[in-house]
Structure 1
Amino acid sequence: MKKKQLTIMLGAMTLALLLGTAPVVQNVAAAGLPVSISQKAKQDALEHADIIDSLKKGSVAIRKYDMTAAQAAGDYSEDMYVATGEKDTVAEQKLADYAMEGVQFSCLRVGNIETHSVQKGTETSVELIYEIPEKLADILKLMKENAVDMSKQGEAYPCHNTGVLHYTGQQISDALEAILKADEVAAKNALEHYLYDYGTLDATTDQKEASGVCNLPKTDKNGYTHLDNLELGLYLFVETEVPEQVTDTVNPWFVQLPFTSADGDMWQYDMNVYPKNQSGNPTLDKSVRNAYSNTLSVNEQVPSGTDKNTSVHAGEAYIAGNDSEALIVYNREAQSADLTDAAYVANRGGYTADGVTAGKDGSGYSTDYMYRDTTTASEGDLLDYILVSKLPHITSEATFLGEYTFQDTLSGGITYNKDVKIAFYDNAMDANANNTKNAKVLWNLNSGDYTQHYVDVTVTNPDTGVQNADGSTRLTVALTEDGLRAVNGVDAAGKQIESLSDYYMVVYYTATVKSDASVVLGDEGNPNHVNLVWSRTSDGYYNMLEDQNYVYTYGLDLTKTFSDQKGKFEHVKFKLYNSTDGYYVMAEKSTTEDGVYYVVGKTVNEEQATEFIPNADSGKLLVNGAEADSYQLTEIATDKGYHLLKDQIKIDISATDRDIIASVAGVTGMDAAAVEAVVNHYQGGIYDENGNLVTAQRDELTGAMAGGPALESANGRTIGKTDLYVGTIQNAFAKIDDKDALMTDQNQAVLLTVNNTKEFLLPQTGGKGLYLITIVGVISVAGGCYLVTRKREKAKM
Structure 2
Amino acid sequence: MRISKTMKRMASASLSAAMMMTAAAPVVTSLPVMAASSANTNNNTADTKDLAHADVIDMSKTGSITVHKYDITSAEAAGAYTMGQYKATGQTDMRVENALSKYAIQGVQFTYLRLGNVEQYSNTTADGSQLKVVYEIPTALADILKLSEADATVMTGDGISTPCTNTGVLHYTSTQINDALDAILKADDVAAKNALESYLLDYATQSTDGDDKQAADTGVLETDANGIASKDKLALGLYLMVETKVPEQVTSTVNPFFVSLPFTNTTADDNAETDHAADGVTDKIGGEKWVYDYVAYPKNQTGNPTIDKAVRNAYSSDSAHKNDKVTTTEGTNYSGTNDSTSLIVYNKDTASDNKADTSDTAYIANRGGYTGEGNNVAGKDGKGYSNDYKYDDTTTASEGDLLDYRIVSKLPHITSKATYLSQYTFTDALSTGITYNQESFKIAFYDNKADAEANNTNAAKEIWDLKDNKHQAAFATVSVDDGDGSEKVTANKATVKLTEKGLNQINGVNIKGAGNPYEAGDAKAGYSDYYMVLYYTATVNSDATVTLGDKGNVNDVSLVWSRTNNKYSNSLQDRNYVYSYGIDLTKTFSDNKGDATKVQFKLYNKTDAYYVIAKKGEDGLYYVTGKTTDKAQGTTFTPAATGRLYIKGLEGDKYQLTEVATDDGYSLLKDQGIIDVHETKRDLKASVAGTTGLEPAVADAIIKNYGTGIKNEDGQLVNAASTDIGGKAVAGPANETANGRTIGKTDMYEGDIQAATATMDGKPCTMLTSSTGDTSSPNAEIKMAIQNDKSPRIPLTGGQGMVVMLVAGVGLVVGGTYIAKKKKEDSVAC
Deviations 1:712-736 (A, max 9, x none): 999x944333322111111111122
CA shift at 1:766, angstroms? 9.1
Matched, 1:559 2:586: yes
Q: Given residue 589 of structure 1, which amino acid in structure 2 is its aligned partner?
A: K
Distance in 1, Cα, partners of 2:13 & 2:196: 28
Residue 457 of structure 2, aligned match among 408, 428, 436 = 436
Residue 658 of structure 1, aligned match among 682, 699, 710 = 682
Residue 473 of structure 1, aligned match among 492, 500, 506 = 492
Residue 75 of structure 1, aligned match among 67, 76, 80 = 80
Distance in 1, Cα, partners of 2:670 & 2:132: 108
SS state at 1:184 partner:
helix
Q: Contact 2:683–2:752 at 8 Å: present in 1 too?
A: yes
Q: Contact 2:444–2:460 at 8 Å: present in 1 too?
A: yes
Q: Contact 1:24–1:257 at 8 Å: present in 2 too?
A: no
Matched residues, percent identical?
Answer: 49
Distance in 1, Cα, partners of 2:16 & 2:509: 40
Matched, 1:230 2:234: yes
Distance in 2, Cα, partners of 1:654 & 1:89: 63
Distance in 2, Cα, partners of 1:34 & 1:335: 90
2:722 match: 696
What is the 5 A alignment of 1:266-277?
266-277=289-300
Distance in 1, Cα, partners of 2:653 & 2:145: 68
Q: Contact 1:560–1:620 at 8 Å: present in 2 too?
A: yes
Deviations 1:20-57 (A, max 9, x none): 599865668xxx4799x9x9999875997543111111
Q: Which runs of 5+ in 2 are unaligned?
A: 1-6, 205-212, 267-285, 330-339, 347-354, 369-378, 770-777, 812-830
1:246 match: 250
Deviations 1:198-227 (A, max 9, x none): 99xxxxxxxxx9944533342111111100
CA shift at 1:563, angstroms? 2.5
Q: Contact 1:457–1:470 at 8 Å: present in 2 too?
A: no
Distance 1:713 1:407, change over 3 A: farther
Distance in 2, Cα, partners of 1:721 & 1:41: 49
Q: Contact 1:563–1:758 at 8 Å: present in 2 too?
A: yes
SS state at 1:406 partner:
strand
TM-score calculated relative to the size of structure 2: 0.77
Residue 670 of structure 2, aligned match among 643, 646, 659 = 646
SS state at 1:744 partner:
strand
Residue 379 of structure 1, aligned match among 399, 407, 414 = 399
CA shift at 1:672, angstroms? 2.3
Q: Contact 1:24–1:256 at 8 Å: present in 2 too?
A: no
1:114 match: 119
1:604 match: 629
Residue 223 of structure 2, aligned match among 210, 219, 238 = 219
Matched, 1:482 2:486: no
SS state at 1:658 partner:
strand
Deviates further, 185-194 or 12-21: 12-21
Distance in 2, Cα, partners of 1:356 & 1:627: 28
Deviates further, 107-116 or 17-26: 17-26
1:454 match: 480
Distance 1:534 1:353, change over 3 A: closer
TM-score calculated relative to the size of structure 1: 0.80
1:667 match: 691
1:463 match: none
Matched, 1:146 2:151: yes
CA shift at 1:118, angstroms? 5.5
Q: Contact 1:22–1:255 at 8 Å: present in 2 too?
A: no
CA shift at 1:128, angstroms? 2.9
CA shift at 1:537, angstroms? 1.3
Q: Contact 2:308–2:408 at 8 Å: present in 1 too?
A: yes
Deviations 1:504-527 (A, max 9, x none): 111111110000000000110000
Q: Given residue 763 of structure 1, which amino acid in structure 2 is its aligned partner?
A: P
Q: Given residue 482 of structure 2, which amino acid in structure 1 is its aligned partner?
A: D
Q: Contact 2:70–2:297 at 8 Å: present in 1 too?
A: yes
Distance in 2, Cα, partners of 1:575 & 1:679: 58
Q: Contact 2:434–2:539 at 8 Å: present in 1 too?
A: yes
CA shift at 1:390, angstroms? 1.4
Distance 1:695 1:42, change over 3 A: closer
Q: Contact 2:720–2:732 at 8 Å: present in 1 too?
A: no
2:309 match: 286
2:337 match: none
1:313 match: none
Distance 1:210 1:516, change over 3 A: farther
1:538 match: 565
Q: Given residue 733 of structure 1, which amino acid in structure 2 is its aligned partner?
A: T
CA shift at 1:542, angstroms? 1.2
Q: Given residue 680 of structure 2, which amino acid in structure 1 is its aligned partner?
A: T
RMSD: 4.1
SS state at 1:747 partner:
strand
Q: Contact 1:27–1:112 at 8 Å: present in 2 too?
A: no
Distance in 2, Cα, partners of 1:146 & 1:34: 34
Residue 503 of structure 1, aligned match among 530, 550, 554 = 530
Residue 784 of structure 2, aligned match among 744, 752, 758 = 752
Deviations 1:41-77 (A, max 9, x none): 9987599754311111110111111111112212222
1:410 match: 430
Distance in 2, Cα, partners of 1:388 & 1:526: 21
Deviates further, 256-265 or 484-493: 484-493
Distance in 1, Cα, partners of 2:707 & 2:757: 34
Deviates further, 422-431 or 699-708: 699-708
1:338 match: 324
Residue 602 of structure 2, aligned match among 572, 575, 578 = 575
Distance 1:9 1:335, change over 3 A: closer
Distance 1:521 1:348, change over 3 A: same
CA shift at 1:426, angstroms? 1.2
Q: Contact 1:713–1:720 at 8 Å: present in 2 too?
A: no
Name the count of aligned residue pairs. 709
1:88 match: 93
Distance in 2, Cα, partners of 1:434 & 1:400: 26
Distance 1:677 1:600, change over 3 A: farther
1:676 match: 704
Deviates further, 238-247 or 699-708: 699-708
Q: Given residue 485 of structure 1, which amino acid in structure 2 is its aligned partner?
A: N
SS state at 1:753 partner:
strand
Q: Given residue 724 of structure 1, which amino acid in structure 2 is its aligned partner?
A: M
Deviates further, 363-372 or 665-674: 363-372
SS state at 1:347 partner:
coil
Q: Given residue 148 of structure 2, which amino acid in structure 1 is its aligned partner?
A: M
SS state at 2:197 partner:
helix
